[in-house]
């Protein structure tokens, strides 16, 4: 299962147009997507956050590692579900389409692949902080998927891509900020 996830993430990052075409033709059950792609990726990000704090700090602090993994888990889960929910609402209200939460979840999950991969690398190797700039490539991934996967017309494509990319990138970050404000113990 993890080998398939790795191949799919690499395909989405390296050749998004081709990957979206394959994903458009792929038939999968709704729960299968969550349990075979999103949840394992979020789990790997959470474990990477735990191990990253545990082994990259001078002190060996399990409490700090647990706090980091909890914050990462809540931000990843919350970011995924909030971005999916808001995209679904925009899908109906702004783009005049019928609501389809499962479609929006799949789109947000696949489009978040780069963000998840970067988080894993940056949690384990914080010295490479400059790689964070590559999260902007998510715009291109969303652009490539808007047409074939979401069936967005060309005239609405830029609006859709801007809104979807903003939701995908900003919701996990906002959740982390709110968690840090509400629970100062999660700041480090």
DSSP 171: H
Whole-prediction pTM: 0.88
pLDDT tens figures, 11-51: 999 999 999 988 888 877 767 888 889 999 999 999 999 99
Compute the distance between CA of residue 83 and CA of residue 108 in angstroms, rounded to an integer.
7
pLDDT tens figures, 51-103: 998 888 877 788 888 888 999 999 999 999 999 999 999 987 777 788 888 88
Locate 22 and state its tokens. Answer: 């394959």
Compute the distance between CA of residue 157 and CA of residue 18 in angstroms, rounded to an integer.
18
Torsional class of 86: left (φ above 0), alpha (ψ -120 to 50), beta (otherwise): alpha
3-state secondary structure 58-116: CCCCHHHHHHHHHHHHHHHHHHHHHHHHHHHHHHHHCCCCCCCHHHHHHHHHHHCHHHH
Q: Where are the domains of the chain?
A: 16-22+29-180
What was the pLDDT predicted at 34?
85
Is the pLDDT at 154 greater than 90? The verdict is: no
Compute the distance between CA of residue 23 and CA of residue 14 in angstroms, rounded to an integer.
15
188 pLDDT band, cuts 50/70/90, is low
Tracing tokens 């891509």 back to the chain, one arrives at 161
Is the pLDDT at 182 greater than 90? The verdict is: no
Compute the distance between CA of residue 146 and CA of residue 152 in angstroms, rounded to an integer.
6
- Kindly state the percentage of the chain with pLDDT values over 90: 53
């Amino acid at each position: 299962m993890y080998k398939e996830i790795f191949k799919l993430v690499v395909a989405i990052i390296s050749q998004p147009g081709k990957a979206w075409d394959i994903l458009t033709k792929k038939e999968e059950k709704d729960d299968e997507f969550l349990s075979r792609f999103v949840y394992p990726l979020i789990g790997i990000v959470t474990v990477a956050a735990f191990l990253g704090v545990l082994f990259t700090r001078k002190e060996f602090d399990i409490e700090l590692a647990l706090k980091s993994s909890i914050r990462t888990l809540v931000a990843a889960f919350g970011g995924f579900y909030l971005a999916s929910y808001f995209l679904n609402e925009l899908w109906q209200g702004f783009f005049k389409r019928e609501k389809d939460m499962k479609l929006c979840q799949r789109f947000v999950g696949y489009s978040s692949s780069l963000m998840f991969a970067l988080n894993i690398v940056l949690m384990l190797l914080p010295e490479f902080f400059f790689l964070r700039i590559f999260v902007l490539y998510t715009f291109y991934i969303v652009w490539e998927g808007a047409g074939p996967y979401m069936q967005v017309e060309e005239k609405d494509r830029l609006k859709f891509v801007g809104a979807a990319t903003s939701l995908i990138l900003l919701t996990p970050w906002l959740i982390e900020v709110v968690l840090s404000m509400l629970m100062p113990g999660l700041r480090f």
